[in-house]
Amino acid sequence: MRLTLPRLLQLAVTLLTAAFLIVPAIQSILAGLTVNYFRGLSSGFTLRWVGEVWRLYADSILLSMGLAVACLGVTLVIGVPAAYALAKNPGRLSRILEEFISLPLAVPGLALALALLQLYGSMTGFRTSWTFILVGHVLYTLPFMVRSVLAVLMAMDLKSLEESAATLGASTVTRFRTIVVPNAMPGILAGALTVVTLSIGEFNLTWMLHTPYLKTLPVGLADSYASMRLEIASAYTLVFFVMIVPLLMAMQWATDRAQRISR
Amino acid sequence: MTLTIRNASKTYPDGTRALLPTDLTVGEGEILSLLGPSGCGKTTLLRIIAGLETPDAGTQVRFDDEDVTRLAVERRNVGMVFQSYALFPNMSVRANIGYGLKVRKVPRAEREQRVDEVLALCRLGDYAERAVTALSGGQRQRVALARAMAPRPRILLLDEPLSALDAALRDSLRDELAAMLRQFRITAVFVTHDQAEALAIADRIAVMSQGVMQQVGRPEELYREPVSSFVARFIGNAMPLPGTIADGHLILPGGRLPLAAGTSDAEVFVRAEDVHLDEAGPLSGTVETVAFSGGHYRIGLAGVTGETLFATHPGRQAPRPGDSVRLRIDAGDLLVLPQDRS
């Protein structure tokens, strides 16, 4: 392959774009690992700031993980049967319901949070519990689960598959368990991936709903940028990366695996 | 098992009458075909037998002495082969075939043994561990049949089992399917719109049109003694001979044909193989088209009736287009049917 001028330009633009995206990330990671950011890398590397982040924000990290798992659980229990019901009854009412479920996507998280606060803010026990944030996260992530599962269910001949299972003696529950769920698995996993990622990263709705004792990972990050030294905030970013990247990779792997035939 | 259907009908919520009250009996081990054009109600009737469609009140479906009209589909113990086959894409061939036994909680050892039996019967042994998505159309059809048969159903129902295949494959698989159904010795009902399929596979054929069962009988009966013009046209493509009937003769533009005594107010049909070229024949016509098809010529004739009349000519030589010919139709070959009121 000869390096002509257009090719050189292409390469330059690609490299510049990549650098534009990756340099700040590298800089931030390095900032979290240097002894003193203002003196530069010559001050040496340390894990002290990472330790400091753990000491200050371990609760936020655990809360975010717990929230993500709980949110995934709730969206699975509500979202998969909901998508199934929508796929089975392809009428106008179903389309309206589908749009209704998707409404939180169009409404800003702040507005959603305000509505929740107005309605439930006076219920002190609920307001100060982590389940209050969970409700917000479920509202926000549910449409992703429903749409992802619905897309897969609509792509297959659900009616014939269920009817043939029925003639073979399978009850409604058995059909759902052995035919619907396994065949919807790629959609369920893709939805799960989205839900967990969104729940861990969600900021603006959570920021409105949180209390001083309930800070999630991104809320803690904002807090550390606002009130700690830059090295701690950068180390925090590093912790965030380390947590979410393996999670993304594991989910991606699971999605690929589900698409292959399972016996 | 004997299937008895009394007064079966189906009206959709929008008022469409898919099936008008119909009676039907299918004997032990008999293969019956429901034949008709699309929208004639044949699939609706099949789905009523399976329990996939709720029929109108008054319908009765009996398996032997048991009234199953209100029995849920999953408890009817029917085997069904769907038009699209509807194989479970998340399972292997073996798991597909074993599904019916698994949901009925048949012990594992017995299940494996039954699946192996059916795999052998349907010549699928080499494909047992394959993914169903990796099979050809013909193999999928056999898996669908094997899956329906594995739980030993009381009746086998097939909905257009050959229509998902391409034309070349369809002809060879038709005979294969007929042989397999005989081998199973099971009461079977199969739906098709293709008369060749019905004639090749079925013991008896029920011809349906617009929600009404027109005639039920052995293939030869339907072919030789159709009771309505619809059946005559649909089975064996009988051609109408529109003419006036006067003093024992049918008067056509091309001549006069003698009819059996006492015939009046009737529609007369004839099949191409019963129209003979004969120099002494009473009818005359002009050759329009000649098509050679191996064993015979198919000759299109103008001037005999208002439309083109076809004759199957077995000779070694055929007249040329434009030639004038004389024709004979034997009185015994005419299909004389009562006037169709619709």
A60: Cα within 13 Å, side-chain hemisphere: 27
Question: Which of B1, B15, B18, B4 shows the shortest CA–CA distance to B55?
Answer: B18
Q: How far is B90 from chain A (nearest CA, A)?
A: 5
Q: At what angle do helices A48-88 and A230-259 cross, to 10 degrees?
A: 40
Check CB contact under 8 Å for B52 and A170.
no
Does residue B73 sit at the A interface (CB-CB below 8 Å)? yes
Q: Name every chain B residue with its beta carbon within 8 A of the beta carbon of A188.
A: none
Closest C-alpha among A233, A220, A195 to residue A61: A220
Task: Compute, in degrees rounded to 10, the torsion defined by CA atoms A221, A227, A230, A236.
Answer: -20
| Nearest-Cα residue of chain B relative to residue A160 | B86
Residue A174 has pLDDT above 90, yes or no: yes
Chain B residue closest in CA terms to A175: B103
Interface check B164 vs A, CB under 8 A: no
DSSP chain A: ----HHHHHHHHHHHHHHHHHHHHHHHHHHHHHBS-GGG-GGG-B-SHHHHHHHHHHHHHHHHHHHHHHHHHHHHHHHHHHHHHHHHH--SHHHHHHHHHHHHHHHS-HHHHHHHHHHHHTT-HHHHTSHHHHHHHHHHHHHHHHHHHHHHHHHHTTHHHHHHHHHHTT--HHHHIIIIIHHHHHHHHHHHHHHHHHHHHH--HHHHHH-BTTB--HHHHHHHHHHHS-HHHHHHHHHHHHHHHHHHHHHHHHHHHHHHS---
Considering only residues B69 and A122, tell me which one the structure prediction assigns the higher pLDDT.
B69
pLDDT in tens, B134-159: 999 889 999 999 999 999 999 999 99
Res B208: pLDDT? 95
Find the length of chain B: 342
Kindly determine whether residue A169 and residue B151, on different chains, have CB atoms separated by under 8 Å: yes
**pLDDT, averaged across chain B:** 91
What type of residue is A238?
L
Q: What is the pLDDT of residue A261?
A: 35
Q: Which residues of B touch A160 (CB under 8 A)?
A: 82, 84, 86
The span from the CA of A49 to the CA of A234, in Å, is 9
Q: Which of B84, B95, B104 sits opposite A169 (nearest CB)?
A: B104
> Is the pLDDT score of A146 beyond 70?
yes
Cα-based distances in Å from B111 to B104, B106, B125, B142, B144 = 10, 6, 15, 19, 17
What are all long-range contacts of A101-110, with beta carbons under 8 Å and residues at least 24 apart? A101/A142, A101/A143, A101/A146, A102/A143, A102/A146, A102/A147, A104/A139, A104/A140, A104/A142, A104/A143, A105/A140, A105/A143, A108/A204, A109/A136, A109/A140, A109/A202, A109/A203, A109/A204, A109/A205, A109/A208, A110/A204, A110/A205, A110/A208
Chain A positions touching B91 (Cβ under 8 A) are 261, 263
Torsion angle of the four alpha carbons B19, B20, B21, B27, in this order, in degrees rounded to the nearest 10: -50
- List, for residues B117-131, the tens digit of each pLDDT value: 999 988 898 999 999
Q: Does B128 touch chain A (CB under 8 A)?
A: no
Provide, as residue numbers in chain A, all residues whose Cβ is less than 8 Å from the Cβ of B95.
Answer: 263
- B residues 5-44 lying closer than 8 A (beta carbon) to A: none
Partner residue facing B86 (CB), from A164, A174, A178: A164
* Cβ count within 10 A of residue B313: 21
B80 and A164 within 8 Å at the Cβ level: the answer is yes
**Range of lowest pLDDT (A17-26, A236-245, B309-318):** A236-245
User: B63 touching A, CB under 8 A?
Assistant: no
Q: Supply φ then ψ for residue B35, to 5 degrees.
A: -115, 135
- What is the average pLDDT score of chain A? 86
C-alpha distance from residue A187 to each of A76, A159, A252, B124, B133 (Å): 11, 18, 12, 32, 19
Tens digit of each residue's pLDDT (9 = 90 or more) over B61-100: 999 999 999 999 999 999 999 999 999 998 999 999 999 9
Whole-number Cα distances in Å, B300 to A154, A194, B232, B292, B322: 50, 68, 20, 12, 11
Q: What is the per-residue pLDDT for A112?
A: 87
Q: What is the DSSP letter of B282?
A: S
Question: B198, B192 in Cβ contact below 8 A?
Answer: yes
Tell me the C-alpha distance between B78 and B253, whole Å.
55
pLDDT computed for residue B116 by the predictor: 94
State which residue of chain A sits closest to B106, comparing Cα positions: A169
Upper half-sphere CA count for residue B243 (Cβ side, 13 Å):
26
Instruction: Please indicate if any CB of chain A lies within 8 Å of the CB of B82.
Output: yes
Q: What is the pLDDT of residue A262?
A: 34
pLDDT band at B106 (very low <50, low <70, confident <90, very high): very high
Report CB contact under 8 Å: B73, A166. yes
pLDDT in tens, A56-114: 888 888 899 999 999 999 999 999 999 999 999 888 888 888 888 888 888 888 888 88
Residues of B in contact with A171 (CB under 8 A): 74, 103
Contact A261 B151 (CB under 8 A): no
Mutate to test the interface with B, among A164, A183, A189 (most CBs of B within 10 A): A164
A168·B100 Cβ contact <8 A = yes
User: Please, which pLDDT band fits residue A259 given cuts at 50, 70 and 90?
Assistant: low
Nearest-CA distance B156 → chain A (Å): 10
User: Given an 8 Å threshold on Cβ–Cβ distance, is A160 in contact with B151?
Assistant: no
Residues in Cβ contact with A256 at an 8 Å cutoff, skipping those fewer than 6 apart: none
Q: Please indicate if any CB of chain A lies within 8 Å of the CB of B104.
A: yes
Cross-chain Cβ contact A164/B73 below 8 Å: no
Separation in Å, CA of A166 to nearest CA in chain B: 5
Cα–Cα distance measured from residue B269 to residue B243, given in angstroms and rounded to the nearest whole number: 11
Amino acid at A76: L
- Residue B294 has a pLDDT of 84
* Mean pLDDT in residue range B335-342: 74
Does A231 have pLDDT greater than 90?
no
Hey, is B244 helix, strand or coil? strand
d(CA B98, CA B129) in angstroms, rounded, equals 12
What is the percent of chain B where pLDDT is above 90? 64
Cα B84 to Cα A83, A87, B161, B164, B182, distances in angstroms:
24, 19, 8, 7, 23
pLDDT of residue A263: 32
Ranked by mean pLDDT, the top range of A33-42, A206-215, B8-17 is B8-17
Asked if the A60-228 domain carries CATH number 1.10.3720.10, the reply is: yes
Dihedral angle computed from the Cα positions of residues A217, A223, A227 and A230, in that order, rounded to the nearest 10 degrees: 50
How far apart CA B100 and CA B104 sit, in angstroms, is 6
ipTM of the complex model? 0.85
Mean pLDDT across B295-305: 90
Nearest CA in chain B to A263: B91
pLDDT at A260 over 60: no
Q: pLDDT band for B340, please (50, 70, 90 cuts).
A: low
Select the residue of A171, A178, A262 nearest B74 (Cβ to Cβ). A171
Q: Does the pLDDT at position A172 exceed 50?
A: yes
Whether A263 sits inside 8 A of B74 (CB atoms) is no
Higher per-residue pLDDT: A160 or A246: A160
pLDDT in the model for residue B243: 84
Name every residue whose Cβ is closer than 8 Å to that of residue A130 and which is 6 or more positions away in sequence. Answer: A63, A66, A67, A214
What SS3 class is residue B108? Answer: helix
Q: Using one digit for the tens of pLDDT, what is the confidence trace for B266-278?
A: 889 999 999 999 8
- Residue A145 CA to residue A142 CA, distance in Å, equals 5
Q: What percent of chain A shows pLDDT beyond 70?
A: 96
The whole-model pTM stands at 0.82
Within 8 A of A161 by CB-CB distance, chain B residues are 86, 88
Q: Which two tokens stand for residue B227?
A: 């009771």
The DSSP element (H or E) to which B212 belongs, if any, is strand B212-217
Can you read off the two tokens belonging to residue B21? Answer: 């009250």
CB contact under 8 A, B88 and A179: yes
